[in-house]
Structure 1
């Protein structure tokens, strides 16, 4: 008989996870599986249940029903030993006090897993964080850097990051993404919750889209079509409005209007079929003006997938080719 194939258990697995706060339901039968060595993106509009999910995984809040397993253990029973294997930055990071930043990080190092010598200083240098400054003098962005250093400094098996780039300038955001890639290359696992679609696009291997406490789609970003939705405005000449509107509607999924004024056609609306066919159609005309904008993440999610119970678009295949369940 051939040798049995050893399967590696997931780093995170939730089954029918539900959380209610009184009459408000934050999560409803949430099923997630996060495999080792991957960056798993968790996205969705405000109130979708992202932060509640992360807090349950860290045993900050307890589920109403359902189960969660993190690194092979129940968050409720894993205790300090489990938490030492996790690096966490909350979405509502609050740091204060007259203690110096470096002193605070060294204090955290004493109560967390061992931190390699020089690791704090190396991370602070990469993120441009002054360790000599008292915490209460730091700007929001610098406090966020401090939170990132404490999350990464002990090289945890699992990083749980809730809106980790809030308040960071673009250069530091780029450095953060490098840290995430390095963690993945070292075999570590990252659960990343973010409102920033471009951040998810650059970092995540698999993405789950949450809406009102349910997974409405799962897969990679391109298969979920979140990056295809665009607001467009353009002015062209060379044809009639009905002809151009029909072309754009059929080939580029234009949801909007084409109006004529003084011989100029004005296009305004939203593309659901991607920018490329839109540009190719316009290339046949004289383009006088053109603007293409990416909508915010909340609009992308709700336009393409709706809210649970609404008439949603068909779910895209997940990373294994299976259909994601709403």
Structure 2
């Protein structure tokens, strides 16, 4: 296993941040940590990097003890924290050189390619970067040395849509090359899109480990369609993944579970004017499937 934790616990005063977490991450997979703020995602990643120490339990990264062999781990792992402070007076290139000094030589051609993909001018100083460019530079430094393992804490937060797309492509390329990627996120959509497996965390406890395909199949969407003329509900009666169907004049509202293809195929037989698709909140999903959340 690339990552293994056993009964890993971390308390901040009387507040538990992780509660007896036992988890295994396999080589060559994209593994997601999904949960709301305070679920324990960042705490786990920080323990793996030995930035904080557990109250009890143990953790191994690539067979190395996170507390006793943390320097060896940091030399082999790409890491992007949720919040990254950059030296304002240094250029992007100088910042990357500083990070590389911990682990070895930079693949300059690869870095140049990443800078082009993420539209970061490495000759400019960090003080002149936009917030999006700073986050993009953080992504570059996490991947720049082809690490065997990459730990990403909310990597897409702060990126624009184009750079998010590049991030997801880079993660897929890294996985295809045989490396492992661990991602902490509050975004169910993100986890559905890129993860092979997902650990569902809530208030420091492991609620479930799901496959990404399972999350995609379970995905809930609130759909509203507006047609040019009134339609009859019988047209949609045979769709097993459509729930709570309501028709009012020329508007249809429903909850869709899983893929929308069949619903849209039927809708396309009518004069469809527009569609609004909204995913339920993470808390709603947690309550529905795992019995935890606001209503629990």
Deviation at 1:22, TM superposition (A): 1.6
| Residues 1:159 and 1:300: Cα distance change in structure 2 (over 3 Å) | same
SS in 2 for 1:147: helix
**Residue of structure 1 equivalent to 2:44:** 53
Is residue 2:168 matched to residue 1:148? no
Deviation at 1:244, TM superposition (A): 9.1
| Residues 1:155 and 1:286: Cα distance change in structure 2 (over 3 Å) | closer
SS in 2 for 1:131: coil
**Residue of structure 2 equivalent to 1:314:** none
**1:258 aligned to which of 216, 233, 246:** 246
Deviation at 1:303, TM superposition (A): 3.3
**Residue of structure 2 equivalent to 1:307:** 292
**1:17 aligned to which of 8, 14, 30:** 8
Q: What are the superposed Cα offsets for residues 20-56 of structure 1, whole Å, 9 maximum, x if unpaired?
A: 1122111112121111111111112222111111111
Q: Would the aligned equivalents of 1:91 and 1:163 in 2 still touch at CA under 8 Å?
A: yes
Q: Distance in 1 between matches of 2:193 and 2:254?
A: 27
SS in 1 for 2:67: helix
Q: Distance in 2 between matches of 1:225 and 1:79?
A: 36
Deviation at 1:155, TM superposition (A): 1.5
Deviation at 1:173, TM superposition (A): 1.8
Q: Distance in 2 between matches of 1:165 and 1:155?
A: 19
Is residue 2:255 matched to residue 1:270? yes
**2:65 aligned to which of 58, 71, 74:** 74
SS in 1 for 2:172: helix
Q: Distance in 2 between matches of 1:79 and 1:291?
A: 48
The runs of 5 or more residues in structure 2 that have no matched partner are none
**Residue of structure 2 equivalent to 1:316:** none
Q: Would the aligned equivalents of 1:15 and 1:32 in 2 still touch at CA under 8 Å?
A: yes
| Residues 1:226 and 1:139: Cα distance change in structure 2 (over 3 Å) | farther
Q: Would the aligned equivalents of 1:45 and 1:301 in 2 still touch at CA under 8 Å?
A: no
Q: Distance in 1 between matches of 2:149 and 2:231?
A: 57
**Residue of structure 2 equivalent to 1:3:** none
**2:188 aligned to which of 178, 192, 197:** 197
Q: Would the aligned equivalents of 1:218 and 1:224 in 2 still touch at CA under 8 Å?
A: no
SS in 1 for 2:147: coil
| Residues 1:270 and 1:24: Cα distance change in structure 2 (over 3 Å) | farther
Deviation at 1:92, TM superposition (A): 1.3
**Residue of structure 1 equivalent to 2:279:** 294
TM-score (normalizing by structure 1): 0.78
Matches within 5 A, 1:91-170: 91-170=82-161
**Residue of structure 1 equivalent to 2:54:** 63
Which stretch of structure 1 is more off in the superposition, 298-307 or 62-71? 298-307
Q: Would the aligned equivalents of 1:87 and 1:156 in 2 still touch at CA under 8 Å?
A: yes
The number of residues matched between the two structures is: 294
| Residues 1:21 and 1:244: Cα distance change in structure 2 (over 3 Å) | farther
Larger Rg: 1
Q: Distance in 2 between matches of 1:124 and 1:278?
A: 41
Q: Would the aligned equivalents of 2:9 and 2:20 in 1 still touch at CA under 8 Å?
A: yes
Q: Distance in 2 between matches of 1:150 and 1:181?
A: 17
**Residue of structure 2 equivalent to 1:216:** 207
Deviation at 1:90, TM superposition (A): 0.3
TM-score (normalizing by structure 2): 0.86
Q: What are the superposed Cα offsets for residues 166-207 of structure 1, whole Å, 9 maximum, x if unpaired?
A: 222222222222221222222211101223334333322111
Q: Would the aligned equivalents of 2:217 and 2:259 in 1 still touch at CA under 8 Å?
A: no
The runs of 5 or more residues in structure 1 that have no matched partner are 1-9, 312-326
